[in-house]
């Protein structure tokens, strides 16, 4: 029976409308395929309906994305599994691609060798199949089976099948595009989450912008509660940065173009920096038409840059302190030479003023001034970390308790002192005299910061510093420390003063009230002892100085009783070679030694001294300055002399050691040093010690 076009349309339209409704209503691709194939079972009165993918005879395997069937004729049961392409499937797929419409195998189709056998294996009596072409991607293959009885397909059957296939191709086009879009969106969201980049887009006429998931997360907003409005974008900015952000946003809205601004976000208990960039803002007649913006979490980058700036500042500070240390060390060397001459000659003059009280009184004033100058140079040496320390393993808490009475007398009654020592305090190895000196300096600074009285608190405790506790601003390293904290309730220091507090000669006190070396001495001594100093201060709230001294695992040293004063020991005509480049110091030293009954030979540099050593084998002591001219210092001289005279003792003198014989705050083993400025008594005792047999053996071993 031949139907007219109108009759065909009357049969097709209800079926196509049904398929259209299914496609539009389906929530997913799988649901759409399921419902369309179920409808085809009914509309074409078939027993199976299925889809192959891809429709390509050249592939080695294919899948069955969807298969629907009547219960009595179950399908292949291989949905979504990859199946090898056998000759029959290859022939069917090739035929479907070549054909302009559906292919059929039924009673009217002549038998092709192997086809009917394959169909019988699947219990297929009749078959329709065709290639369908979504607008993107490879073609698919749609087919139906009649299994209960052979079916001779009419022209109406074929037309209906082909039209249903075409509608299914349209449905696949939409859902495949949607899935691709969702996959792209998912990949975009993953990329944004990984890069911590959020995006927002707005078009004129839309009540809200479109924000990505990552933007909501980045700003700390709940998508279900916070609408995507510009006001909320502004509200997520830290109040201190909000005005700057609004100004940039206003420029974008008025002029379009590309802008960028870095601001802090409002996040509880967390610092977060966000970089906002606008690259596609379109403005027509002064009105914003559309805008695309990107917000990126740049917190790690900002923190890394800040850490880098801190490290650079720390390096600059370290270099500055090192340069100042070298400068002050050199100044201390020159001053110590001058003071040696001054103080030594004052001693000589005093002996000539016996019975002249006025002269002695005037002389004592000069000696007092010289002693104060010597103390200043000692502080310079402490800052430059070149003073020779005498470290011992001590209990810092016990030392502070013993020092408390002296501190009370030093700072007066207007300041209340509280000493709190921690239980089971660890031992630490430092020079106790220098630690006492440092604490007295800190107490005096605290007193001066509290002219109307106040409170000074000194605490000791054990602390373990971890990597998380260290600050990029300073050089404190992880480890176990004895912490001494000196806190006052004084006026405090502003930041610009705090930044220079350790600089030598820097002081905020009036003329005549301070040298600016107190904190410098503390800093140098603690660093030379392997420790660290932290300084915290706020104007009106006081100052806290924290001294970290490394823990020692050695036993506490026994306290030695003070030795009684003895007369200056004299020599028995021993011969001493004095090597000193300063003529005034050299003359004074020779005169002192001769009055102590020694025979003295002199040299002003290393080469001259070596010449004397080679000519005179009766030299019994080498007394040499460390800093010498002509490219050979005292240490180098002593090494050469030792190669010639292994048992010859050496006594060094110096006002500045330049790390020649002091390392890590200690004299090198076997080294004997007489610090400048020295008195005749000090010279006599050091020379006698160097000439004793025990000292001589120790020198030989070194």
HEC assignment per residue over 416-471: EEEEEECCCCCEEEECHHHHHHHHHHHHHHHHHCCCCCEEEEEEEEEEEECHHHCC
Radius of gyration of the chain (CA): 48
3-state SS class at 441: helix
Residues in the chain: 702
- The label of the residue with tokens 């805008």 reads 291
Residue 224: predicted pLDDT: 84
C-alpha dihedral (637, 642, 645, 649), degrees to nearest 10: 90
Which residue reads 């917000």 in tokens?
A: 295
| Helix ranges (DSSP H) in 110-264 | 115-121, 155-195, 213-219, 230-235, 239-255
Q: Which residues of the chain have pLDDT under 50?
A: 1-3, 112-113, 382-386, 472-473, 511-512, 562, 565, 665, 694-702
Residues 6+ apart with CB under 8 A from 468: none
Q: Judging by DSSP bridges, how do beta strands 392-394 and 415-421 pair with one another?
A: unpaired
CA distance 549 to 531: 5
Write down the number of H helices and E strands in the chain.
19, 25
Q: Which helix (H) or strand (E) holds 262?
A: strand 257-265
Please say whether the beta carbons of 578 and 603 come within 8 A. yes
Q: How far apart are CA 272 and CA 299, in angstroms?
A: 5
What pLDDT sits at residue 268? 64
Distance CA 72, CA 74 (A): 6
Looking up tokens 């610009």 gives 496
Output the pLDDT for position 384. Answer: 43
163 Cβ neighbours under 8 A, 6+ residues apart: 12, 15, 16
**How far is residue 254 from each of residues 199, 259, 289, measured CA to CA in Å?**
20, 12, 10
Reference 433, options 413, 452, 406, 453; nearest CA is: 406
Tokens, residue 180: 């691709």
Instruction: Specify which residues 131 forms β-bridges with.
Output: 141
The Cα–Cα gap between 203 and 292 comes to: 9
Cα separation, 60 vs 82, whole angstroms: 9
477, 548 in Cβ contact below 8 A?
Answer: no
pLDDT at 109: 63
């Amino acid at each position: 029976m031949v139907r007219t076009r109108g009759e065909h349309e009357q049969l097709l339209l209800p079926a196509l409308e049904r398929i259209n409704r299914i496609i539009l209503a389906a929530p997913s691709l799988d649901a759409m395929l399921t419902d369309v194939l179920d409808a085809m079972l009914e509309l074409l009165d078939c027993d199976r309906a299925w889809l192959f993918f891809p429709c390509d005879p050249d592939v080695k395997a294919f899948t069955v994305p969807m298969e629907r069937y009547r219960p009595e004729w179950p399908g292949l049961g291989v949905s979504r599994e990859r199946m090898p392409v056998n000759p029959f499937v290859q022939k069917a797929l090739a035929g479907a691609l070549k054909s302009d419409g559906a292919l059929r195998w039924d009673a009217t189709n002549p038998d092709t060798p192997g086809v009917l056998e394959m169909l019988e294996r699947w219990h297929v009596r009749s078959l329709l199949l065709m290639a369908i072409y979504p607008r993107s991607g490879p073609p698919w293959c749609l087919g139906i089976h009649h299994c209960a009885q052979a079916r001779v397909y009419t022209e109406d059957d074929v037309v209906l099948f082909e039209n249903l296939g075409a509608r299914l191709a349209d449905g696949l086009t939409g859902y495949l595009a949607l899935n691709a879009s969702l996959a792209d969106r998912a990949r975009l969201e993953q990329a944004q989450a990984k890069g911590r980049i959020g995006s927002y887009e707005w078009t004129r006429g839309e009540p809200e912008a479109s924000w990505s998931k990552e933007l909501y997360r980045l700003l700390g907003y709940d998508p279900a509660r916070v609408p995507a409005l510009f006001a909320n974008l502004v509200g997520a900015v830290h109040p201190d940065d909000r005005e700057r952000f609004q100004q940039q946003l206003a420029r974008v809205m008025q002029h379009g173009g590309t802008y960028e601004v870095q601001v802090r976000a409002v996040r509880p208990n967390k610092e977060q920096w966000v970089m906002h960039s606008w690259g596609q803002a379109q403005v027509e007649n002064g009105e914003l038409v559309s805008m695309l913006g990107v917000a990126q979490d740049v917190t790690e980058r900002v923190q890394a840059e800040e850490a880098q700036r801190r490290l650079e500042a720390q390096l600059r500070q370290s270099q500055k302190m090192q340069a100042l240390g070298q400068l002050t060390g050199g100044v201390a060397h020159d001053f110590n030479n001058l003071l040696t001459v001054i103080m030594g000659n004052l001693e000589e003059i005093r002996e000539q003023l016996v019975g002249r009280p006025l002269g002695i009184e005037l002389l004592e004033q000069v000696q007092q001034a010289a002693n104060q100058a010597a103390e200043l140079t000692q502080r310079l040496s402490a800052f430059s970390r070149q003073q020779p320390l005498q470290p011992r393993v001590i209990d810092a808490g016990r030392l502070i308790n013993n020092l408390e009475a002296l501190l009370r007398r030093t700072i007066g009654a207007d300041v209340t002192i509280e000493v709190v020592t921690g239980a089971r305090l660890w031992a630490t190895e430092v020079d106790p005299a220098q630690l006492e000196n440092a604490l007295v300096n800190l107490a005096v600074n605290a007193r001066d910061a509290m002219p109307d009285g106040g409170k000074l608190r000194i605490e000791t405790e054990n602390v373990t510093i971890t990597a998380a506790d260290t600050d990029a601003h300073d050089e404190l390293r992880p480890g176990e420390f004895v912490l001494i904290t000196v806190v006052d309730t004084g006026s405090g220091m502003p930041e610009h003063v705090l930044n220079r507090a350790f600089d030598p000669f820097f002081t905020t006190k009036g003329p005549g009230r301070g040298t600016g070396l107190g904190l410098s001495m503390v800093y140098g001594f603690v660093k030379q002892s392997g420790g660290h100093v932290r300084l915290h201060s706020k104007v009106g709230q006081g100052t806290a100085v924290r001294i970290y001294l490394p823990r020692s695992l050695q036993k506490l040293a026994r306290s030695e009783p003070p030795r009684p004063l003895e007369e200056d020991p004299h020599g028995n005509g021993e011969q001493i070679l004095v090597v000193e480049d300063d003529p005034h110091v050299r003359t004074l030293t020779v005169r002192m030694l001769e009055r102590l009954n020694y025979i003295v030979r002199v040299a002003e540099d290393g080469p001259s001294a070596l010449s004397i050593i080679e000519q005179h084998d009766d030299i019994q002591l080498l007394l040499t300055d460390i800093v010498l001219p002509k490219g050979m210092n005292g240490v180098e001289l002593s090494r050469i002399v030792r190669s010639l005279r292994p048992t010859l003792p050496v006594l060094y003198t110096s006002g500045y050691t330049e790390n020649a014989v002091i390392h890590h705050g200690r004299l090198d083993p076997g080294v004997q040093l007489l610090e400048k400025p020295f008195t005749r008594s000090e010279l006599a005792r050091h020379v006698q010690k160097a000439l004793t047999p025990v000292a001589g053996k120790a020198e030989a071993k070194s």
